[in-house]
Structure 1
């Protein structure tokens, strides 16, 4: 009886989550359809793998190496590690990890590239007693920050307005 009640409560909870549109982070396509169907990546550096994974979730988009309807170019990447807090003995207690990406997207129909900037911050506690473990934790945080920055760039791509074809200069507005 108790087991049946637990299963019923679990089934109701799962159906409520499924009905409200809940999904795990990174398991869905961008919020809206992109205003282009092919994209070329240039100068992506350490963001390349994370960007490709985030973009391939959208089945409507194809990644091309040559000419595409839009080009995403990473202009600048900056990784910074600042001291956040120190203890009374003057030793570091916490670090602030900052990952900043500046990128531009240019569509074939646009004349000027659209700039985008993403900043991701994480706090990391530090202990001299666990140096190797903290180095591994830092590497995992940097990888997570790159994935997060790629997701934010893809989300911003979905908010670009659709391009409407320009009317010829001599066309009249009256029928």
Structure 2
């Protein structure tokens, strides 16, 4: 009789646990997609040619838990370089290769770099028959937006997963030995 009661208790416990998991219940804790505490308040600085990269970064960083702020003590995500590139290959079918390269780092409020520079690149290509289709500009415009969105997501993921290398402080050596 004791064995039957124990088995029944185990089955009841497993059944209740499975029903809690099935309904979406989870213990409150730190979300895996939230930004590290030190980057919880941040401002964004992008070059003038970065199209709508700043608004995409703001969207993805705020969804990762970063509070966007222009306060003097906020960290700064500085995009150092934004380089779009278009490679056109001609032939029977025309092929265009779009590439966006972004170099960024995080700085403290005084402008001192806290992380090493990180470069992210996104690439898309498409082809078309120039004799029959004239949608080159529309597709190029759409793919540029896709690339900017992709780069902004990559930057937000790297910040929220804390995968950025911090700058190591140089060691002081004594020259008078």
* Structure 2 match to 1:81: 86
| Long gaps (5+) in structure 1 | 1-17, 22-28, 164-175
Offset of 1:93 from its aligned partner? Answer: 2.2
Offset of 1:108 from its aligned partner? Answer: 4.9
CA-to-partner distance for each residue in 1:41-75, whole Å, 9 max, x for gaps?
Answer: 112532111111111213x3210123243110111
* Structure 1 match to 2:126: 124
| CA separation of 1:160 and 1:71: change in aligned 2, threshold 3 A | farther
| CA separation of 1:48 and 1:33: change in aligned 2, threshold 3 A | closer
Task: Give distance in 1, aligned partners of 2:42 and 2:145.
Answer: 23
CA-to-partner distance for each residue in 1:81-102, whole Å, 9 max, x for gaps?
Answer: 1135x43xxx552111110011
Q: State the structure with more CA Rg.
A: 2
| CA separation of 1:162 and 1:108: change in aligned 2, threshold 3 A | farther
Q: Decide whether the 8 Å contact of 1:127 with 1:134 is kept in 2.
A: no
Q: Decide whether the 8 Å contact of 1:30 with 1:155 is kept in 2.
A: no
RMSD of aligned alpha carbons: 3.0
Normalised to the residue count of structure 2, the TM-score between the two structures is 0.63
* Structure 2 match to 1:42: 45
